[in-house]
Amino acid sequence: MSQYTSFYKFISEEQRERPFSGGKLTGLLLEVISACKKIAFLTGQGQLAGQAVGAAETENVQGEQQKKLDILSNELFIESTQWCGYLAGMASEEMDNSLSVPDIYPRGKYLITFDPLDGSSNIDINVSVGTIFSILELPQGVDKPTDKDFLQQGIKQVCAGYCLYGTSTMLVLTTGNGVNGFTLDPGTGDFFLTMPDIKLPKETNEYSINQSYSRHWEPPVQRYVDECLAGVEGPLEKNYNMRWVASMVADVHRLLCRGGIFMYPMDARLAAKGDAGKLRLLYEANPMSFIVEQAGGVASTGRERIMEIRPNALHQRVPVIMGSQVEVDRVVSYHDGTTPIAVAG
Ligand code: P6P
């Protein structure tokens, strides 16, 4: 008898505490998790997946070279969820526009945004990648959703999660009642509750940023990172460690496990390209912000709470500074009164 609670038992007991939920979100989540298990199998095969790995001949709407696994993972996600009757439509990093559930299937009350394989450039070097998803409610009176129906503030999310394909496969999820982590048992194909009620430490001595862009950063971020580098002799009076996996799911999972601050801030390089950040609001920043806040952390652009941003485009990019409250609050305070970099229009 496993000492751990299965995901199905956990979510069923959570649902019992919400008698009016009707089980629709549970039903959708079970299909999302089914997609994640299939993606875990594919990524776990590595080069043995033959034709499935390597670069595709295409670019996504972001202008990023797609991997075959990006496209496969996107297709797996759609196939696993569109039929279930709980979903009305979906939006993905890998698709220019949103997709309404076809008329051959019943449409439900939820919308989902997702990045099917975040950090996919790490596949070729066998470093962790992940799936990120966010679940919203279909606006009242809408039957077939279009892009505008997905443009909801992060505070409207009913669920957010990620699946990390790492040394083990982990699902981390919030439905607004705290954050819980589940590990996949490859033998049975079940997820088991291994990190109940995750709480993000308020303090940290670990920061996460791509240091190679430091000459492009805004002064508040340069000031904070310089203070971390100054260590115990500097104003923060402690030594810091630095980590950068270049896979948001892996970097955010680490700070949920042991504290930290993850930053993909605005920089002059991005502004010159006309981008308001690197990471996408609807399927990276918002779901991760929901999880981080539910675990007791803070998620900001440096100048505003990420989950209060009113989206204006499906693939909108934002600056991201999230993690341990004391550190994020400090970086936000350094932004006070400063003028943001003008984005080329
Ligand atoms: P850079 C992966 O492509 C991603 O979207 C995030 O997962 C990750 O944090 C970031 O980009 C890495 O960006 O510029 O360091 O390669």
Q: What would the pLDDT profile of 78-118 be if each residue is shown by its tens digit?
A: 999 999 999 999 999 999 999 999 999 999 999 999 999 99
Q: What would the pLDDT profile of 186-240 be if each residue is shown by its tens digit?
A: 999 999 999 999 999 999 999 999 999 999 999 999 999 999 999 999 999 999 9
Which of the four pLDDT bands, split at 50, 70 and 90, describes residue 51? Answer: low
Mean pLDDT of 273-284: 96
pLDDT of 14 strictly over 70: yes
Reported pTM: 0.95
Note the pLDDT of residue 3. Answer: 87
Whether ligand 1 lies within 6 angstroms of the CB of 208 is answered as: no
Mean pLDDT of 311-323: 98
Cα(254) to centroid of ligand 1, in Å? 15
**Residue (of 330, 167, 146) closest to 250 by Cα position:** 167
Q: What would the pLDDT profile of 227-238 be if each residue is shown by its tens digit?
A: 999 999 999 999
Q: What would the pLDDT profile of 53-87 be if each residue is shown by its tens digit?
A: 666 666 676 666 666 888 899 999 999 999 999 99
Which of the four pLDDT bands, split at 50, 70 and 90, describes residue 16? Answer: confident
Whether ligand 1 lies within 6 angstroms of the CB of 242 is answered as: no
Cα(158) to centroid of ligand 1, in Å? 26
Residue of 248, 275, 315 to test ligand 1 pocket, by largest number of atoms within 8 Å of CB:
248
The residue whose CA is least distant from atom 10 of ligand 1 is 246
Please say whether the beta carbons of 341 and 220 come within 8 A. no
Q: What would the pLDDT profile of 245-260 be if each residue is shown by its tens digit?
A: 999 999 999 999 999 9
Give the ligand 1 atom nearest the CA of 262: 9
Long-range CB pairs of 68-72, under 8 A, 24+ apart, other chains included: 69/42, 69/43, 69/117, 69/120, 69/123, 70/94, 70/116, 70/117, 70/120, 72/42
The phi, psi pair for 228, rounded to 5°, reads: -65, -40
Note the pLDDT of residue 23. Answer: 81
Whether ligand 1 lies within 6 angstroms of the CB of 211 is answered as: no
CATH number of 206-336: 3.40.190.80
Give the ligand 1 atom nearest the CA of 279: 5
Cα(339) to centroid of ligand 1, in Å? 25
The residue whose CA is least distant from atom 4 of ligand 1 is 119
Whether ligand 1 lies within 6 angstroms of the CB of 204 is answered as: no
Note the pLDDT of residue 50. Answer: 66
Q: Which fold has domain 7-195?
A: Fructose-1,6-Bisphosphatase; Chain A, domain 1 (3.30.540)
Cα(248) to centroid of ligand 1, in Å? 6
Going from N- to C-terminal start, the domains of the chain cover 7-195, 206-336
Q: What would the pLDDT profile of 33-47 be if each residue is shown by its tens digit?
A: 999 999 999 999 888
